[in-house]
Every structure is written in structure tokens, then in C-alpha cells.
Amino acid sequence: MANVFSAPEGFEPPAFNIETWQKDEDEYLTRLADRCKMNGTSDLLGETIRFPRGDGYALYMVWNNSPLQLIHVAIGDAWQVEDALIRGLRVTDVRDMVEREAKMRALFSKGAPA
């Protein structure tokens, strides 16, 4: 069972700027992940999981894995998932989601065949 929290004080999401939004969000996610990693030694700390919602996705970052605690990352449209979905999440589910995302990134980062 997971619990969801807002980002800690001092980690407010960046204000939207049409010219720098991607850089601002990337820096915010890196800074927040670094803070999460201070909670222990688990390889899941600071990893993100996404759930498709509307025209984007709901984004959560692993704050702690015992007990499972997630931070709702309120960037973009700041979509959220249903409480029942969060309550049912287990660490093994999160690990599977992180591994699937890494495999997809690796698959699509390879160049197209000639």
C-alpha cells in the first residue's frame, strides 16, 4: 500500500515559461530525485512512475520504498490518479513500472535501421 505526499518544502514546481519549460522541469526533477535519494540506499528512490491521464500523464516519484511513499510531481497539467489505484500499489509494481520504462527508453534510443 502506498501513500502520496506533496513535494517537500523548498521543492515547489517551476513556473511555466514557454521558452524554458523543458529545461526547468528537467532541473526540478533532477533536484527532487537527488533529495529523494537522501532517504536511503534503495535503487528506487528518486525514480518516477507515470500513469496515462487525459492528454498527458500523472507523474509520481518514489520518496521511500519501506513503506512505499510517493511524491505527486505537479508539473505539466499536474494530473493525479485515483486514490484506490495508489492504495493498491506495491513496491514490486513500482519496480516493474520503472524497469519497463527503462526498457522502452533503451529501445527507442537506438537508431532506426538503415
Which helix (H) or strand (E) segment is 108 a member of?
helix 91-109
Break the chain into its structural domains and give their ranges. 3-109
pLDDT given for residue 114 in this prediction: 52
Rounded mean pLDDT, 85-90: 94
Confidence of residue 110 (pLDDT cuts 50, 70, 90): confident
User: Going by C-beta distance under 8 Å and a sequence separation of 6 or more, which residues neighbour residue 62?
Assistant: 36, 42, 44, 45, 46, 47, 48, 49, 68, 69, 70, 71, 94
Rounded mean pLDDT, 103-111: 85
Is it the case that residue 102 has pLDDT exceeding 60? yes
Whether the bond between 113 and the residue before it is cis, its omega within 30 degrees of 0, is: no
Rounded mean pLDDT, 83-88: 94
Taking Cα atoms as reference points, which of 39, 84, 89, 40 lies closest to residue 60?
89
- 11-61 per-position pLDDT tens digit: 999 999 999 999 999 999 999 999 999 999 999 999 999 999 999 999 999
